[in-house]
């Protein structure tokens, strides 16, 4: 039985014994005692004043006295106004440590066949450009969220929708056809997604040059855009694509294959994966069918130009375009089609879309439309909305080629980690291969942690130099603490120290040790809260707090040199479980922790 559960039960009994009042466990409010006061757990007394008909202080004192006399967990108490601060026995905390030590996946729940099926969509790249820093945040958030929800006992399906059609794709295709001279990834030595991205930038440069020339001839900006032959060609290519033109489709397939090979390499390095990948080129037709079904049923309406719309004014919104007059689809059409295919493939209980906050309105509309069209989970879909990520220099623009490429960013982080380790002398005893492995783990860990520690809803600035610091709230600081504990445990094993399966409960613990045990015990609730709130940052900041507390304990306490054998063993077991929870917590964020640094 958890300490909190036992205490709540005892409080329920106390209220009944003292005031002849029956209360439910949900009426008992326990919280961690604030650091400035003595105690481990605090009972909020105010809800019981109408039962005691006494002052908060008197009521708290009566309940505290009862608990101390009747519940072996409670050895002392103090009262601060309406708050009863309870000090618990060291034996109870040793029992908690034994429970944590016995569970190799403490804090995790396993899924069963009856567990809810949660589908998470993330990444959603376009095949006209490589993944960039914005995609990195999306992928890391989606991957972490999938791990956290699985650790909460859900069955999880990770999906990706690849935007592989549309005018933006045609721009890259047209630019390659006009200016590429047959260049391929093999002939250029470039990753396929980078090569195609270069032609997207190339199209924009030629388009801007054409507009400038037209405006120099006296046309307004709007007139120049309307007269652009390059944009006209791109639109014609899209119409041919939708009509199934063999030549256009062959070019499209070739360039997309280049991109997919590039994406796979990036995903692998980033440590993210998917159970099912959908493609807009396959889902948009399903979306069209579903829109036409909605039109027949009177959910939607058609305008004179042939376009199909949804009237959402009754929902406090405006009208939403679903099909253009020429019959081509929009993003909403594709999302409806993807939903239809997913619902056919999986019995989804909950659907989570990991997409930036600029799409908040889109998903508000999608939820309403899916509900109208009969998808059971449509009304309750979750848009995991996250803020933009920028560099200290400012925003990025894909068309202008000023984005931070994901591959280059990861390579730079790994190089910086290796250089920093050399400067600090941390890699002096490594072989070249070991140094490379640790640099990869530390560099990618720094990137992932820096992004995931920030509340996803907030815009953030990614600072590579800050992220790689071995001190402060960073991935390398946490990884180094884990490696330090592993080193302590190796030295103990080399000295012949064996750690028992169960610790005796009569070891005299210091308050620092109890604080650490209490923090470890919090991990299961932290995992639950992170799942309920869809918030990886809760995990990240908990792990940092645990590491900070452990480093203070390490600084102030002897471990291997402790003369009291029972206390030395207890501190080693405590250290082992801190390293375990660090590993489990970082694992939820998709971050590896090395055993040596």
What domain range is 46 assigned to?
3-88
Q: Determine the pLDDT at residue 466.
A: 85
Helix (H, G, I), strand (E, B) or coil at 74: strand
Same-domain pairing of 436 and 552: yes
pLDDT digits (tens, 9 = 90+) for 264-297: 999 999 999 999 999 999 998 899 999 999 999 9
Query: Is residue 595 situated within a structural domain?
Result: no
Q: CATH number, domain at 81?
A: 3.30.1360.70
For residue 320, which of 288, 379, 365 has the smallest C-alpha distance?
365
Same-domain pairing of 521 and 418: yes
**What is the band of 377 on the pLDDT scale with cuts at 50, 70, 90?**
confident
Last residue of a domain, one of 67, 88, 109: 88
Q: CATH number, domain at 491?
A: 1.10.730.10
Give residue for tokens 């505290």.
64
Query: Is residue 597 situated within a structural domain?
Result: no
Contact 63, 29 (CB under 8 A): no
Same-domain pairing of 42 and 173: no
Q: Determine the pLDDT at residue 424.
A: 76
Query: Is residue 138 situated within a structural domain?
Result: yes
Name the region of 211 (left: φ>0; alpha: ψ -120 to 50; beta: rest). Answer: alpha
* 300-302 and 308-311 beta bridge pairing: antiparallel
Q: What percent of the chain has pLDDT over 70?
A: 97
Q: Determine the pLDDT at residue 394.
A: 52
Last residue of a domain, one of 274, 308, 325: 274
Q: Would you give the DSSP letter of residue 35?
A: T
Query: Is residue 133 situated within a structural domain?
Result: yes
Query: Is residue 50 situated within a structural domain?
Result: yes
Same-domain pairing of 158 and 30: no
Mean residue pLDDT across the chain? 93
Same-domain pairing of 75 and 185: no
Last residue of a domain, one of 274, 301, 327: 274
Distance CA 130, CA 538 (A): 30
Q: How many domains does the chain have?
A: 3
Query: Is residue 102 situated within a structural domain?
Result: no
Distance CA 346, CA 365 (A): 23
For residue 284, which of 239, 329, 341 has the smallest C-alpha distance?
329
47-51, 83-87, 384-388, 423-427 — which is least confidently predicted? 423-427
For range 287-315, the mean pLDDT? 94
pLDDT digits (tens, 9 = 90+) for 549-582: 999 999 999 999 999 999 999 999 999 999 999 9
Same-domain pairing of 74 and 131: no
pLDDT digits (tens, 9 = 90+) for 496-533: 999 999 999 999 999 999 999 999 999 999 999 999 99
Query: Is residue 324 situated within a structural domain?
Result: no
Sign of the torsion angle spanned by Cα atoms 453, 454, 456, 459: negative
Contact 409, 447 (CB under 8 A): yes
Distance CA 202, CA 194 (A): 12
Integer CA distances (angstroms), 156 to 339, 385, 539, in order: 16, 19, 19
Query: Is residue 444 situated within a structural domain?
Result: yes
H helical segments located in 158-245: 167-179, 185-188, 192-216, 221-227, 229-242
Same-domain pairing of 566 and 475: yes
Same-domain pairing of 159 and 34: no
Which token pair is 201? Answer: 């930038």
pLDDT digits (tens, 9 = 90+) for 177-216: 999 999 999 999 999 999 999 999 999 999 999 999 999 9
Same-domain pairing of 71 and 178: no
DSSP assignment of 447-493:
HHHHHHTS-TTS-EE--HHHHT-SSSSSHHHHHHHHHHHHHHHHHHH
Helix (H, G, I), strand (E, B) or coil at 390: strand
Sign of the torsion angle spanned by Cα atoms 521, 526, 527, 532: positive
Which token pair is 353? Answer: 């879309």
Which token pair is 445? Answer: 């860990």
Same-domain pairing of 414 and 556: yes
DSSP assignment of 491-506:
HHHHTT----SS--TT
HEC secondary structure over 290-326 = HHHHHHHCCCEEECCCCCEEEECHHHCCCEEEEECCC
Q: CATH number, domain at 191?
A: 3.40.50.620
pLDDT digits (tens, 9 = 90+) for 407-439: 999 999 999 999 888 887 766 677 888 889 999
Same-domain pairing of 39 and 177: no
Integer CA distances (angstroms), 150 to 120, 154, 267, 533, 536, in order: 11, 5, 20, 14, 13
Same-domain pairing of 425 and 564: yes
**What is the band of 398 on the pLDDT scale with cuts at 50, 70, 90?**
very low
217: exposed, middle or buried (C-beta count within 10 Å: 0-12, 13-18, 19+)?
Answer: exposed
166-175, 185-194, 346-355, 383-392 — which is least confidently predicted? 383-392
């Amino acid at each position: 039985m958890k300490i909190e559960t036992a205490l709540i039960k005892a409080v329920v009994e106390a209220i009944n014994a003292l005031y002849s009042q029956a209360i439910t466990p949900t009426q008992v409010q326990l919280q961690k005692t604030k650091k400035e006061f003595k105690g481990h757990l605090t009972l909020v007394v105010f809800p019981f004043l109408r039962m005691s008909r006494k002052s908060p202080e008197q009521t708290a004192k009566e309940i505290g006295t009862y608990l101390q006399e009747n519940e072996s967990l409670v050895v002392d108490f103090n009262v601060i106004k309406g708050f009863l601060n309870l000090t618990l026995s060291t034996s109870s905390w040793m029992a908690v440590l034994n429970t944590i030590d016995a569970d190799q996946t403490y804090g995790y729940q396993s899924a069963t066949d009856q567990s809810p099926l949660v589908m998470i969509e993330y990444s959603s790249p376009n095949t006209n450009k490589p993944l960039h820093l914005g995609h990195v945040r999306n992928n890391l958030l989606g991957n972490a969220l999938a791990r956290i929800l699985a650790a909460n006992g859900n069955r999880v399906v990770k999906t990706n929708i690849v935007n592989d059609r549309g005018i933006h794709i045609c721009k890259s295709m047209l630019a390659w056809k006009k200016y590429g001279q047959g260049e391929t990834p093999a002939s250029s030595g470039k990753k396929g997604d980078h090569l195609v991205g270069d032609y997207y930038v190339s199209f924009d440069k030629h388009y801007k040059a054409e507009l400038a020339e037209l405006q120099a001839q006296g046309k307004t900006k709007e007139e120049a855009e309307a007269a652009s032959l390059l944009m006209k060609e791109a639109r014609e290519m899209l119409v041919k694509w939708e009509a199934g033109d063999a030549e256009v489709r062959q070019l499209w397939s070739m360039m997309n294959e280049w991109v997919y090979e590039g994406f796979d390499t990036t995903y692998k390095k980033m440590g993210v994966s998917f159970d099912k990948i959908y493609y807009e080129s396959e889902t948009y037709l399903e979306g069209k069918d579903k829109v036409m079904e909605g039109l027949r049923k009177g959910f939607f309406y058609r305008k004179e130009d042939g376009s199909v719309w949804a009237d959402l004014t009754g929902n406090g919104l405006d009208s939403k375009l679903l099909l253009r007059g020429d019959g081509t689809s929009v993003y909403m059409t594709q999302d409806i089609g993807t939903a239809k295919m997913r619902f056919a493939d999986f019995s989804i209980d909950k659907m989570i879309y990991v997409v930036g906050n600029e799409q908040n309105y889109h998903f508000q509309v999608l939820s309403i439309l899916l509900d109208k069209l009969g998808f059971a989970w449509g009304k309750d879909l979750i848009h995991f909305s996250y803020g933009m990520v920028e560099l200290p220099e400012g925003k990025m623009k894909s068309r202008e080629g000023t984005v931070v490429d994901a591959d280059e960013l990861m390579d730079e982080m790994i190089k910086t980690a290796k250089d920093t380790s050399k400067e600090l002398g941390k890699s002096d005893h490594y072989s070249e291969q070991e140094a490379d492995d640790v640099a990869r783990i530390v560099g990618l860990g720094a990137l992932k942690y820096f992004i995931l520690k920030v509340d996803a809803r907030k815009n953030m600035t990614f600072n590579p130099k800050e992220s790689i610091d071995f001190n402060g709230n960073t991935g390398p600081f946490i990884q180094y603490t884990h490696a330090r504990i592993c080193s302590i445990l190796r030295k103990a094993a080399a000295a012949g120290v064996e750690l028992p399966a169960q610790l005796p409960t009569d070891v005299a613990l210091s308050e620092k040790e109890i604080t650490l045990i209490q923090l470890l015990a919090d991990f299961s609730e932290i995992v639950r809260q992170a799942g309920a709130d869809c918030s990886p940052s809760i995990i990240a900041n908990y792990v940092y707090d645990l590491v900070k507390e452990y480093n203070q304990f390490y600084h102030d306490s002897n471990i291997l040199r402790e003369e009291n054998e029972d206390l030395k063993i207890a501190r080693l077991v405590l250290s082992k479980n801190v390293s375990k929870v660090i590993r489990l917590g970082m694992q939820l964020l998709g971050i590896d922790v090395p055993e040596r640094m």
